[in-house]
Chains A and B, each alone.
Chain A
Amino acid sequence: MDVNPKAPAPFPGEVIQTPGGGILVSRMDQVINWARSNSLWPLVFGTSCCAIEMMSTAAAKYDWSRFGFEVARATPRQADVIIIAGTIVNKMAPVLKRLYDQMAEPKYVIAMGACATSGGPFFYNTYSVVKGADHIIPVDVYIAGCPPRPEALIHAMLSLQEKIKSGMTREQIKMEKPEQSF
């Protein structure tokens, strides 16, 4: 998708122009984003059933190392992307927030499965489930499914890579325009 699309005339919202800057800076940014998007190291973070599908994606048949996701790091210090694979519960929320804060700066989040997106099958009549992981940390890509198939997870990773290359992830927008961070 092209980076700075011209907004159509009657555009309701406000278009955030990603600051292109001079040739050198934008060229440099694109090279950096390209390099970052092709070596995203996921954090080993599986809470429930989606973690098994994540492991199937890591295994030989659906092999996510074809896209640079090879190395699943155990510590947030060396991880780039958190794949929230499973339900986030009230007791787990501060832990997830702390892990997200302790990650090195270009960090992205994929909310895998219905539980991470909106509480999923545990939405009604549960006193302990956080209804969606974006209540806690900003999420870049959501995946539907309970659990989503490995192909869906790989598709989500590819769309995350697209988002990074075009500089549209939440963290990148927050970096460029700190006062407008949401």
Chain B
Amino acid sequence: MTREELQNSLPDLAPGATFEEGGEWLNMNVTAESWKAVSHALKFTAGFDFDYLFCLTCVDWKTHLTMVYHLTSTTHRHNMVVKIKLDRTKPEVETVCDTWRTAEFHEREVFELFGVVFLNHPDLRNLILPDVWDGFPLRKDYEDPINMIKL
């Protein structure tokens, strides 16, 4: 499906979704609460089949955090980006690792580098950083005077 068809057929799938202009692929903003149903629908409804989550990351916009999911379909070959706005103090979003198994590792990485809590993730622990680590390194306001030698 091309980008316009996607844009027209998506609202009935995700009622509260808004779309952004610009960028290479269709950007869809979804609320954190509805993300569980939307992700399930995106993968299992016939026409979409977004079965390949190839990039899951988070961006810290100093006022809020944005979760970014890059999805593609191995059958229809169309791509899409889903974005979720989370507030900075208590970022929480539903896990998607039962729809896409690759999310298990990616979510653990975002959890330790950004502090986003993924609800009912089977094994949410530090994956890359040592088990005891204060602060979330990839946030913009992360200060580490001992290790970080600023240029």
Contact = CB atoms under 8 A, between A and B. Distances in A.
Task: Check A-B contact in the complex, CB < 8 A.
Answer: yes
A123 interface: yes
Interface string B111-151: 00000000000000000011000000100001010011111
A132 to B, nearest CB: 12
Contacts, number: 24
Judged by DSSP, the binding face of A is loop
B151 A125 contact: yes
Q: Which of A91, A126, A127 has the most CB of B within 10 A?
A: A127
Q: How many A residues touch the partner, as a band?
A: 10 to 19
Nearest to B150: A125
Interface residues of B, number: 10
B115 to A, nearest CB: 15
A4 interface: no
Contacts of A125: 148-151
Interface in B65-81: none
Interface of B: 129-130, 137, 142, 144, 147-151
The 3 A-B residue pairs with the shortest CB-CB distance, nearest first, are A124-B151, A127-B147, A127-B144
Interface of A: 90-91, 123-129, 131
24 contacts: A90-B130, A90-B147, A91-B129, A91-B130, A123-B149, A124-B149, A124-B150, A124-B151, A125-B148, A125-B149, A125-B150, A125-B151, A126-B147, A126-B148, A127-B137, A127-B142, A127-B144, A127-B147, A127-B148, A128-B129, A128-B137, A128-B147, A129-B147, A131-B149
